[in-house]
Amino acid sequence: MTKVVNYISEAFEELKSNVTWPEWPEVQRLTIVVAVFSILFALATWGVDEIFAKALAGFFNWIKA
């Protein structure tokens, strides 16, 4: 258990002293970029899903007929 506590405390010390954190405006800008691309990717995935669903429905209707 001592090793785990030591590891966690060293990790926090590393984060405090050796990591270069971005400035707040950059964090906000990058968050917006990630949100926009996430929405675009979700819409693209939905669109492809709808196209395949309609194509498969048409295919199975064609086979039934």
User: 46 — phi, psi (to 5°)?
Assistant: -60, -45
pLDDT tops 90 at residue 39:
yes
Domain hosting residue 35, numbered range: 1-64
Confidence grade of residue 42 (pLDDT, cut at 50, 70, 90): very high
DSSP string, 4-59: HHHHHHHHHHHHHHT--PPPHHHHHHHHHHHHHHHHHHHHHHHHHHHHHHHHHHHH
**What integer pLDDT is reported at residue 65 of this predicted model?**
77
Domains in the chain: how many in total? 1
DSSP code for 1 = -
**Run of H or E residues at 65:** none
